[in-house]
């Protein structure tokens, strides 16, 4: 009889087990989705319930659930699922967990290879994030481990419309940028001085100090400050004026996010 | 003293004389009853039209996406005219607010009406304006222009400095400089909502050739929180006078103007916020200066011009385009405002109204609006006074039947209160700006209070205004308004 | 007297009852509004994650999925509103994905049913939502509704919805014809509606211009206002001598903005036009081109009866380089000598004065020198002129 008592780091243990499970799923399909969260309950029966609940919403879901008693981290591996479906499944999971009052923190959803390389460091980082975020908020975060493209990493968004701002902030933060918001021209100018963003995305119609004024002032103090105008004004004379005053680019609403991102990346080469 | 009483008693006992008086008073009471019934019926007609239009209005507001329209290239460009007199404290904030409206193409023309304070300097310094020499059209005569200032960094802002001539004169000067076909008049101390101009533009665009004027809705901003030129929290006014005025405005604008505009009989577009076709305004000679009431005056002239020249037209009202204004909080300022209104109203009726009233050529405006205005607004104080005298007469002659009077008064009050409720109904269904039930309670309460003295004082102020008119009739008044505080 | 009294008392009671009824209705509406507000907030909390899911994954290749779990009627409607907002804010593929999502949830079917129903209020509501979602199957029913509708505000709601949904230019043309048949002249509004549609707008506007019907021509001209391709010039050329003033004016505007080079006969014709606005537009367009070939025409503009045209011609000449400045100075000297006054000369001096204040900028300095040279060549040295070293 072998009695091997090894004191191991439970975190490492969990990471290794997760990795194993993920690799198995990875090996047979192209992608692998991982959802991590912390729970209050340690009853193993609910794992089965969770699986059946998830299957109810999607019959062909290949799920593997894993629960670590010590740290109370719940991991769900989805075979063959990209980030979008993983996100969706996270929604369903959250509903299940909240229904039975099991949720105790954030949910983090990731998909490999979209979110990054399937390595132990990445997984342990994920697990750490989940454990640290305990008790703070109950929302779902997407994990994207991309190095920010050289040059642009901080963005300032100035727009009175909240939905617009929120969308841009959400998407760019997902891609790894640091995003600051401003609701009017003077707040934008103040934050520009404070955070020195690489790119400013601004509307033209801002209270207190309008978009043109903002661009002008930014260019006055920092000649190579880059400002992209994102607005619903389609008049050619607005475009001309914006460029004359020093804007680097002009995007009209409704806009496509990938186009906006592409234009920002292009800015470093200009 | 005793002699006087004996004399009065003697006359009171003279039967034949008394009988004559009695029959006169009786006839008068018939007249009074008819008067009240007529005015109530007319009110009901107007309110009925307003309520009927409410649902169509609501649909128009709900199903038009203002965001899209704000960025469209096909929305007509507007020149916003801002007459300013002694506004140094608030002019910068207000101009900045006007410069950041959600509207594709417009210009802001601020006219300094010979201010005695630092308005001129404040503007020049803040926006770094420099003198320019544009070509002004000379369609309208104004006081001497001292200079026109501009800064290409603020391409939509123009600043006219001229000698004092009054609000109407300033508007005319602005018209001479304006570059667009539509003009909008704004008070320097009013707060325009960001999409107000777009909403009016939508109404205009649905019938551009015929819409000669569109009026906006004026709401009272007292006790609301304002940040960066935007009203963040709408609250019912806390003080008594603004609260009463708030209810009064709601009743007049939502209950009255919607109905009148449905019949194309709207007699006034608020000076605080209105949009006009420039060529028509110039055709009627611009704004009449030297006397208050130029906002009603221009609309009357527009009706007259279009009706006389057989031009199909409409004067519209856009209740969702909101301009916030500070209501007077003290009795003194409120009374002087109302006296001014009374004076202006009388002058307009004498100058313009008399020529058009009861003439079929002037359609609804001449046959309904003007009679209503003359009989039930302008002459109202006199009817009320005569009514009061009649009641005293009744009392002296022991003709009074207090219960009849009481019943009559009660019927009158209750039927008018229904209309107040009607106005609040329109507010709740279409706009619902006041968020809490407590606000509704206050609105009902103050609607009630209105009948317990506020309306009566209003009549008194109007009468004072008339007296001012008759007193000043011989003076050529360039009414230099001490401030645009209303 | 007593019978009157009793009936009067009854009237009073009646009125009190009416007042109470109204008050009850009023409070009912108020409470309903407050309840709705709370329901809105609940919805936002509950669906926040789902909406983030949509926003975050709108670019992915996968289809967006319907919300997990059941929705009640209110949540159904509120989600529709949010999706409408998003559809309007996005374009292209992202919009398609959102529309597909709406299809999955069942919004189009629901509204199509309501459109064919009997309640007017519901029909308009359905038309609006179907428009937002760009549902092409709704077009025939909406056209029918448009045909029978009276000419008020809601008419345009339906028309706009048709414009958003239509995939076939013929439907848009039908819509325009119906609107025009209601008797209103609304070229700006119609052009604005057409621009919300996904058909080839330029082609449609071009067709309108060539249609020969004044109303359609006006719509076409408004729609093409922003296009400055040279083909436009040819298309509007014929319209420039239309008898309809609006058409004439708009087509001249487009023509001036879209040609690279204006032929001399056209320039002369336009400069000799009776309407000062047209002359002004022409002069402004010539100034923009900064081609000294037009300097002669601008000099003629200086003699125009309308002061605005004179002013614009002067500005144009001043920015046209040496030749323009020289011509201007000569014209100023001629007008002074012939007794017409020194208005033009004053303009030159003022321009010199304002330029002299800005000579830190190289461009302005060059202009200043050129103008000073032209001035002195024509008028001789003048002590009044402030000299800049």
pLDDT tens-digit readout, B228-260: 788 989 999 999 999 999 999 999 999 999 999
Per-residue pLDDT for A179 more than 60?
A: yes
C124–B59 C-beta distance less than 8 A: yes
Q: Which pLDDT band, with edges at 50, 70 and 90, does B486 fall under?
A: very low
Kindly list the residues from chain A whose CB atom is less than 8 angstroms away from the CB atom of residue B99.
210
Mean pLDDT of B256-271: 94
Q: List Cβ neighbours of B303 (8 Å cut-off, separation of 6 or more).
A: B267, B313, B315, B356, B362, B365
Q: What are the strands, taking DSSP E only, across B31-139?
A: 78-84, 106-113, 130-132
B101–A207 C-beta distance less than 8 A: no
B208–C185 C-beta distance less than 8 A: yes
What pLDDT does residue B480 have?
A: 33
Regions of chain C with pLDDT less than 50: none
Q: Bigger pLDDT: B341 or C290?
A: B341
What pLDDT does residue B475 have?
A: 38
B73–A234 C-beta distance less than 8 A: yes
Positive or negative torsion for Cα C163, C169, C175, C179 = positive
What pLDDT does residue B474 have?
A: 40
List, for residues A9-29, the tens digit of each pLDDT value.
666 777 777 777 777 777 776
Q: Which pLDDT band, with edges at 50, 70 and 90, does A134 fall under?
A: low
Kindly list the residues from chain B whose CB atom is less than 8 angstroms away from the CB atom of residue C128.
62-63
Cis omega (within 30 of 0) for bond into A254: yes
Nearest residue of chain C to residue A140 (CA atoms) = C49
What pLDDT does residue C104 have?
A: 94
What pLDDT does residue A145 have?
A: 64
B70–A208 C-beta distance less than 8 A: no
Q: Which pLDDT band, with edges at 50, 70 and 90, does B481 fall under?
A: very low
Q: Which helix (H) or strand (E) holds B9?
A: helix B2-13
Q: List Cβ neighbours of B104 (8 Å cut-off, separation of 6 or more).
A: A233, A235, B70, B71, B72, B73, B75, B77
Q: Which pLDDT band, with edges at 50, 70 and 90, does B421 fall under?
A: very high
Are the C-beta atoms of residues C138 and C112 closer than 8 Å to each other? yes
B104–A253 C-beta distance less than 8 A: no
Structure ipTM: 0.89
DSSP symbol at B137: P
The whole-chain average pLDDT of chain A stands at 80
Q: Which pLDDT band, with edges at 50, 70 and 90, does B265 fall under?
A: very high
Are the C-beta atoms of residues B293 and B343 closer than 8 Å to each other? yes
Among the partner-chain residues C61, C69, C92, the one whose CB lies closest to the CB of A256 is C92
Tell me the pTM.
0.89
Mutate to test the interface with B, among A161, A208, A229 (most CBs of B within 10 A): A208
Are the C-beta atoms of residues B170 and B287 closer than 8 Å to each other? no
What pLDDT does residue B409 have?
A: 86
Q: Which pLDDT band, with edges at 50, 70 and 90, does A6 fall under?
A: low
What distances in angstroms separate CA A12 from CA A4, A19, A73, A181, one per listed residue? 18, 10, 13, 38
Give chains near C: 3+ CB pairs under 8 A: A, B
Q: Bigger pLDDT: B179 or A144?
A: B179
Count chain A–chain C contacts defined by CB atoms under 8 A: 68
Per-residue pLDDT for B37 more than 80?
A: yes
Torsion of CA C219, C220, C226, C228, to 10 degrees: -160
Cis omega (within 30 of 0) for bond into A113: yes
Contact residues, A window 180-219, toward B, CB-based 8 Å cutoff: 184, 205-208, 210, 212-213, 216
Q: For chain C, give every domain's residue range.
A: 283-389
Per-residue pLDDT for A146 more than 70?
A: no
- A253 to chain C, any CB pair closer than 8 A? The answer is yes
C105-111, long-range: CB within 8 Å, 24+ apart, which pairs?
A: C105/C66, C105/C67, C105/C76, C105/C79, C107/C80, C107/C83, C107/C133, C108/C133, C108/C135, C108/C137, C108/C138, C111/C135, C111/C138
Q: Which residues of C358-375 are buried (b: 16+ CB within 10 A; e: fewer)?
A: ebeeeeeeebbebbbebb
Q: Which pLDDT band, with edges at 50, 70 and 90, does A258 fall under?
A: confident
Q: To the nearest whole angstrom, how far is the Cα of C225 from the nearest Cα of chain B?
A: 9
Task: Look at the block and give the residue holding tokens 């009357």.
Answer: B300
Kindly list the residues from chain C whose CB atom is less than 8 angstroms away from the CB atom of residue B422.
22
Judged by average pLDDT, the poorest of A168-177, B377-386, B470-479 is B470-479
Give chain A as a DSSP string.
Answer: ---------HHHHHHHHHHHHHHHHHHHSS-EEEEEEEES---THHHHHHHHHHHHH-TT--EEEEEETTTTEEEEEEET--HHHHHHHHHHHHHHHHHTT-EEEEEEEEEETTSS---HHHHHHHHHHHHHTTTT---EEE----PPPTT--EEEEE-S-HHHHHHHHHHHHHTT-EEEEESSHHHHHHHHHHH--SEEEE-S--SSS-HHHHHHHHHHH-TT-EEEEEES---HHHHHHHHHHT-SEEEESS--HHHHHHHHHHHTT-
B230–A234 C-beta distance less than 8 A: no
What pLDDT does residue A266 have?
A: 86
Q: Which pLDDT band, with edges at 50, 70 and 90, does A136 fall under?
A: low
Query: Token pair of A118, please?
Result: 């399937």
What pLDDT does residue B154 have?
A: 85
Bridge partners for B205 per DSSP: none
3-state secondary structure of B161: strand
Mean pLDDT of B37-65: 92
List, for residues B385-417, the tens digit of each pLDDT value.
888 888 888 877 776 677 878 888 888 899 999
Bridge pairing between strands A199-202 and A226-231? parallel
Are the C-beta atoms of residues A26 and A11 closer than 8 Å to each other? no
What pLDDT does residue A5 have?
A: 52
Are the C-beta atoms of residues A156 and A127 closer than 8 Å to each other? no
């Amino acid at each position: 009889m072998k009695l091997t008592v090894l004191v191991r780091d439970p975190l490492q243990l969990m990471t290794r087990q997760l990795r194993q499970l993920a690799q198995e799923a990875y090996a047979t399909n192209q992608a692998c989705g991982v959802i991590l969260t912390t729970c209050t309950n340690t009853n193993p029966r609910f794992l089965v319930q969770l699986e059946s609940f998830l299957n109810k919403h999607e019959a062909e879901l290949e799920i593997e659930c894993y629960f670590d008693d010590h740290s109370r981290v719940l991991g769900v591996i989805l075979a063959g699922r990209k980030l979008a479906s993983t996100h969706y499944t996270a929604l369903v999971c959250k509903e299940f967990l909240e229904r039975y009052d099991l949720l105790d923190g954030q949910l983090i959803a990731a998909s490999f290879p979209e979110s990054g390389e399937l390595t132990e460091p990445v997984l342990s980082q994920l697990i750490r994030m989940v454990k640290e975020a305990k008790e703070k908020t109950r929302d779902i975060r997407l994990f994207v481990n991309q190095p920010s493209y050289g040059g642009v990493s901080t963005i300032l968004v100035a727009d009175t419309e909240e939905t617009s701002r929120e969308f841009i902030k959400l998407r760019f933060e997902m891609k790894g940028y640091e995003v600051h918001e401003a609701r009017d021209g003077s707040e934008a100018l103040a934050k520009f001085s404070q955070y020195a963003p690489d790119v400013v995305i601004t509307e033209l119609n801002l209270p207190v100090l309008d978009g043109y004024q903002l661009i002008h002032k930014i260019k006055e103090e920092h000649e190579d400050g880059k400002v992209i105008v994102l607005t619903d004004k389609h008049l050619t004379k607005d475009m001309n004026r914006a460029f004359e005053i020093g804007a680097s680019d002009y995007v009209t609403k409704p806009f496509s996010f990938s186009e906006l991102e592409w234009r920002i990346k292009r800015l470093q080469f200009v | 003293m005793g002699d006087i009483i004996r004399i009065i008693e003697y006359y009171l006992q003279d039967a034949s004389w008394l009988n004559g008086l009695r029959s006169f008073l009786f006839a008068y009471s018939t007249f009074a009853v008819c008067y009240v019934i007529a005015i109530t019926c007319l009110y009901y007609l107007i309110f009925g039209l307003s309520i009927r239009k409410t649902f169509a209005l609501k649909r128009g507001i709900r199903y038009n996406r203002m965001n899209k329209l704000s960025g469209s290239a096909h929305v007509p460009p507007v020149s916003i005219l801002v007459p300013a007199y002694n506004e140094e404290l608030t002019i910068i904030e207000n101009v900045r607010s006007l410069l950041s409206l959600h509207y594709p193409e417009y210009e802001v023309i601020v006219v300094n009406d010979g201010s005695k304070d630092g308005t001129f300097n404040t503007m020049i310094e803040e926006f770094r304006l420099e003198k320019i020499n544009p070509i002004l059209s000379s369609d309208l005569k104004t006081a001497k222009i001292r200079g026109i200032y501009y800064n290409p960094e603020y391409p939509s802002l123009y600043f006219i400095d001229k000698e004092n001539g009054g609000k109407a004169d300033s508007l005319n000067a602005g018209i001479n400089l304006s570059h667009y076909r539509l003009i909008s008049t704004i008070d320097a101390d009013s707060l325009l909502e960001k999409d107000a101009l777009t909403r009016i533009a939508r109404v205009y665009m649905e019938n551009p050739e015929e819409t000669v004027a569109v009026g906006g809705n004026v709401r009272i901003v007292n006790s609301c929180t304002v940040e960066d030129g935007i009203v963040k929290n709408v609250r019912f006014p806390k003080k008594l006078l603004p609260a009463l005025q708030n209810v009064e405005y709601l009743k007049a604008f939502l209950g009255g103007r919607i109905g009148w505009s449905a019949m194309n009989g709207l007699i006034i577009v608020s000076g605080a916020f209105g949009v006009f076709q420039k060529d028509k305004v110039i055709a009627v000679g611009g704004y009449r200066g030297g006397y208050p009431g130029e906002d009603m005056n221009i609309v009357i002239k527009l009706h007259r011009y279009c009706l006389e020249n057989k031009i199909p037209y409409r004067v519209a009202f856009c209740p969702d385009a909101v301009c916030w204004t500070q209501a007077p909080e003290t009795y003194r300022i409120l009374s002087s405002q109302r006296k001014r209104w009374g004076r202006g109203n009388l002058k307009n009726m004498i100058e313009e109204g008399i020529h058009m009233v009861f003439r079929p050529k002037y359609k609804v405006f001449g046959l309904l609006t003007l009679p209503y205005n003359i009989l039930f607004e302008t002459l109202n104080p006199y009817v009320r006074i005569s009514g009061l005298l009649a009641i005293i007469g009744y009392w002296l002659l022991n003709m009074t039947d207090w219960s009849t009077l009481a019943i009559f008064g009660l019927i009158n009050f209750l039927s008018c209160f229904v209309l107040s409720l009607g106005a609040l109904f329109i507010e709740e269904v279409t706009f619902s700006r006041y968020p809490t039930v407590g606000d509704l309670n206050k609105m009902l309460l103050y609607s009630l209070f209105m009948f317990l003295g506020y309306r009566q004082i209003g009549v008194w102020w109007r009468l004072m205004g008339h007296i001012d008119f008759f007193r000043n009739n011989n003076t050529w008044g360039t009414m230099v308004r001490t401030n645009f505080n209303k | 007297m007593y019978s009157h009294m009793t009936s009067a008392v009854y009237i009073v009671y009646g009125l009190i009852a009416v007042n109470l009824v109204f008050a009850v209705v009023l409070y009912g509406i108020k409470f309903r509004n407050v309840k709705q507000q709370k329901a809105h907030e609940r919805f936002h909390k509950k669906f926040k994650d789902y909406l983030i899911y949509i926003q975050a994954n709108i670019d992915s290749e996968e289809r967006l999925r319907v919300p997990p779990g059941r929705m009640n009627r209110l949540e159904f409607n509120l989600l529709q509103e949010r999706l409408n907002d998003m559809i309007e804010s996005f374009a292209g593929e992202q919009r398609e994905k959102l529309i597909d999502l709406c299809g999955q949830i069942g919004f189009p079917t629901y509204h199509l049913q309501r459109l064919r129903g009997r309640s007017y209020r519901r029909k308009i509501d359905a038309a609006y939502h179907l428009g937002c979602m760009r549902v092409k199957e709704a077009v025939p029913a909406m056209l029918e509704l448009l045909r029978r509708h009276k000419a008020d505000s809601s008419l345009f709601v339906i028309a706009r919805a048709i414009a958003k949904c239509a995939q076939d230019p013929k439907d848009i043309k039908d819509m325009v014809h119906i609107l025009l048949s209601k008797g209103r002249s609304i070229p700006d509004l119609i052009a604005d509606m057409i621009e919300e549609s996904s058909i080839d707008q330029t082609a449609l506007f071009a067709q309108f211009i060539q249609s020969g019907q004044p109303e359609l021509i006006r719509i076409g001209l408004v729609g093409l206002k922003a296009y400055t391709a040279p083909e436009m010039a040819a298309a509007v050329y014929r319209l420039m001598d239309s008898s309809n003033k609006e058409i004439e004016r708009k087509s001249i505007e487009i023509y001036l903005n879209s040609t690279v080079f204006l032929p001399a006969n056209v320039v002369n014709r336009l400069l000799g036009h009776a309407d000062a606005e047209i002359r002004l537009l022409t002069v402004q367009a010539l100034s923009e081109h900064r081609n000294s070939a037009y300097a002669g025409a601008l000099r003629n503009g200086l003699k125009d009866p309308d002061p605005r045209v004179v002013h614009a011609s002067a500005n144009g000449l001043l920015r046209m380089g040496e030749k323009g400045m020289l011509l201007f100075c000569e014209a100023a000297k001629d007008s002074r000598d012939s007794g017409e006054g020194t208005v033009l000369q004053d303009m030159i001096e003022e321009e010199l004065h304002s330029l002299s204040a800005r000579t830190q900028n190289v461009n302005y300095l060059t202009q200043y020198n050129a103008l000073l040279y032209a001035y002195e060549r024509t008028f001789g040295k003048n002590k009044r002129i402030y000299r800049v070293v």
